Amino acid sequence: MTVSDDLFERARTLMPGGVNSPVRAFGSVGGSPRFMVGSDGPYLTDADGKDYVDLVCSWGPMLLGHKHPAVQEAVHSAVDRGLSFGTSTPDESALAELVMQRFGGVDRLRMVSTGTEATMTAVRLARGYTGRDLIVKFAGCYHGHLDSLLASAGSGVATMALPGSAGVTEATAAETLVVPYNDRAAIEAVFAEHGDSIAAVITESAPANMGVVTPGEGFNKFLLDTAHAHGALLIVDEVLTGFRASDAGYWGLSGRVEGWTPDLFTFGKVIGGGLPTAGLGGRAEVMDHLAPTGPVYQAGTLSGNPIAMAAGVATLTHATPEVYAQIDALSLELQQAVSGALNAEGVDHSIQTAGNLFSVSFGTSERGVHDYADAQAQEAFRYAPFFHSMLDSGVYLAPSVFEAWFLSAAHDDVAMQRVYDALPAAARAAAAATPA
Ligand SMILES: *Cc1c(COP(=O)(O)O)cnc(C)c1O
């Protein structure tokens, strides 16, 4: 028994599944989760004193690596001024300005504490603004755990192979229309049938919660044009991709080039640099429908918390073009190393990308992965042995094949060499895997 095993035994008697977020439980890869007690740069340290090169980065936020000196210092100094005031603070405006400098079309921003709150509020705002009820979402996209968007969701819902969630009423589920990703005909059909009742289409800027899926060329622009032609809004969820796929998220790589800007963006993860902060932003005309200027209510005791604002401002300030260039280059190198190792063992696979975000899927080289059905049809059984081999070699991957691989600016040559050295054995384990 390791210390982590002991801690998990105890946690299981105290919390459902021993965890506070489902995929942390290692359910799809087996074994017991590592309990982490420390971090530094590209590394996590577990309760047994073993360190891991972290390729999860707290599921995205730690873009600069763990314990980045400037972020740590900003947080320490904010703590010294007090933990929460329950009032407006100067750093809220500083963070809003940093977001607006990067993303086009954000005239107003409202801070919340989690990505779920951001998308929940965006959905309510779209309904309040349009006076319509229906929301269109894509199968395999994850937007947090709000009732109306759990149908055919990605992330843990995909990992656990659930169709949706118990506890969501039929009435709520009926107000969400789920269509296959990258499928223009399905969008046209849903608007042809329900066009004047649809409040909004919500999409991940590039899906990264069913593994990464690359949006077809012009797909987001098509969504915007179709929604607008029917008086509906487009909500682009950049909670995962924002400030990570580029300085302006996936929109920076796609929207800026193809010429589309949604009515509303949602942000999370990197924007808080590891503390609980998220936000939604967009056109003033839409955003000003939020209270206190408008009739759509939304509030939060800890919204814009000063410690979280300090972490967010410091993180975005230090997320320079050099940081993105470095992560982009590392990502390419890692993709090639993973592919090379898998090819050497004859493991059929494909790699999907959205800027520096990528994921690996097994048995998919012929079709690629264009939607949730493709992602679900992969040889997912190869992932558990691959994951555990990497873990044994001191590399921490997401405990689910449906997640992206995350790098940071702190992943140096020494850390990456450990990853590269670990890959051949992991590829052999994947090659030897058989369906359960
Ligand atoms: C993580 C995520 C969310 C939910 O954010 P939480 O902070 O976990 O509530 C929403 N949308 C996307 C695209 C995400 O990746």
Q: What ligand 1 atom has the least distance to the C-alpha of 144?
A: 4
Burial class for 381, CB neighbours closer than 10 Å (0-12, 13-18, 19+)? middle
CA dist., res. 191 & res. 227, Å (int): 8
Report how far residue 288's alpha carbon sits from residue 30's, in angstroms, rounded to the nearest whole number: 47
Atom of ligand 1 nearest to the CA of 276: 7
Ligand 1: centre distance to CA 334 (Å): 25
With a pLDDT cut of 90, the percent of the chain lying above it is: 94
Element containing residue 414 per DSSP (H, E): helix 413-432
For residues 45-66, one letter each, b for 16 or more C-beta atoms within 10 angstroms of the residue's C-beta and e for the rest, the string is bbbeeebbbbbbbbbbbbbbbb
Ligand 1: residue whose CA is nearest its atom 15: 240
pLDDT at 226 over 80: yes
Give the residue, out of 20, 58, 117, 119, with the most ligand 1 atoms within 8 A of its beta carbon, to mutate for a pocket test.
119
pLDDT tier, 188 (very low <50, low <70, confident <90, very high otherwise): very high
At which residue do the structure tokens 């179709």 appear? 226
Q: Tell me the CA–centroid distance for residue 204 and ligand 1, in Å.
A: 10
Q: What is the pLDDT of residue 162?
A: 74
Bridge partners for 22 per DSSP:
none
- Nearest-CA residue for ligand 1 atom 10 is 143
Q: Give the 3-state secondary structure of residue 128.
A: helix
CB of 277 closer than 6 A to ligand 1? no
The set of residues, in sequence order, having a beta carbon less than 8 Å from that of 29 and lying 6+ positions away, is 383, 384, 387, 388, 399, 400
Is 237 part of the annotated catalytic residue set? yes
Q: What confidence score (pLDDT) does residue 158 get? A: 79
Which residue from 142, 205, 238, 302 has its CB within 8 A of the most atoms of ligand 1, so it is best to mutate?
142
**CA distance to 10, 121, 125, 237, 304, per residue, from 109 (Å):** 41, 12, 13, 14, 11
CA-based angle 284:285:291, to the nearest 5? 80
pLDDT tens-place string over residues 388-411: 999 999 999 999 999 999 999 999
Mean pLDDT of 70-79: 98
pLDDT of residue 155: 82
Question: Which 3 state secondary structure label does DSSP give 365?
Answer: coil
Pocket probe for ligand 1: among 116, 157, 243, 271, the residue whose CB has the most ligand atoms within 8 Å is: 116
Query: Is residue 70 predicted with pLDDT exceeding 80?
Result: yes
CB of 122 closer than 6 A to ligand 1? Answer: no
Instruction: Compute the distance between CA of residue 381 and CA of residue 116 in angstroms, rounded to an integer.
Output: 30
- Do residues 291 and 297 make contact, with C-beta atoms less than 8 angstroms apart? yes
The whole-number average pLDDT for the span 184-203 is 97
Would you place residue 270 in the very low, low, confident or very high pLDDT band (cuts 50, 70, 90)?
A: very high
Give the pLDDT confidence score for residue 399 in this predicted structure. 97
Cβ count near 76 (within 10 Å): 11
Instruction: Determine whether 396 is an active site residue.
Output: no
pLDDT of residue 145: 95
**Kindly report the CA angle at 239 between 37 and 23, in degrees rounded to 5?**
45
User: In this predicted model, what pLDDT tens digit does every residue of 301-335 receive, in sequence order?
Assistant: 999 999 999 999 999 999 999 999 999 999 999 99
Catalytic pick from 46, 54, 91, 237?
A: 237
Q: Is 237 in the pocket of ligand 1 (CB under 6 A)?
A: yes
Q: What does the mean pLDDT of the chain come to?
A: 96
CA 142 – ligand 1 centroid, Å: 7
Please tell me the predicted confidence (pLDDT) of residue 418. 98
* 3-class secondary structure per residue, 250-302: HHHHCHHHHCCCCCEEEECHHHHECECCEEEEECHHHHCCECCCCCECCCCCC
Assess contact for 359 and 212: CB atoms under 8 A. Answer: yes
Q: What is the pLDDT of residue 182?
A: 98
Q: Tokens standing for 131?
A: 């006076």
CB-ligand 1 contact for 209 (6 Å cutoff): yes
Within a 10 A sphere around the Cβ of 216, how many other Cβ atoms? Answer: 13
**Ligand 1 pocket test, candidate residues 143, 271, 359, most atoms within 8 A of CB:** 143
Cβ neighbours, 10 Å, residue 413: 9
How sure is the predictor about 82, in pLDDT bands with cuts at 50, 70 and 90?
A: very high
Residues with Cβ within 8 Å of residue 83, at least 6 apart in sequence:
305, 306, 307
Determine the atom of ligand 1 nearest the C-alpha atom of 114. 7
Residue 122 has pLDDT above 90, yes or no: yes
- Per DSSP bridges, beta strands 43-46 and 36-40 are antiparallel
Residue 269 known to be catalytic: yes
Q: What is the pLDDT of residues 1-40, one digit of tens each?
A: 999 999 999 999 999 999 999 999 999 999 999 999 999 9
The answer to whether the predicted template modeling score (pTM) of the entire model surpasses 0.95 is yes
Ligand 1 pocket residue status of 268, Cβ below 6 Å: yes
Strands (E), 49-180: 51-54, 108-112, 134-138, 176-179
pLDDT digits (tens, 9 = 90+) for 140-171: 999 999 999 998 888 888 777 777 788 988 88
**Of these residues, 269, 371, 383, 396, which one is catalytic?**
269
pLDDT of residue 430: 98
DSSP β-ladder status, 349-354 and 233-238: unpaired
Bridge partners of residue 238, in order along the sequence: 267
Q: For residue 406, how far is its CA from the centre of ligand 1 (angstroms)?
A: 15
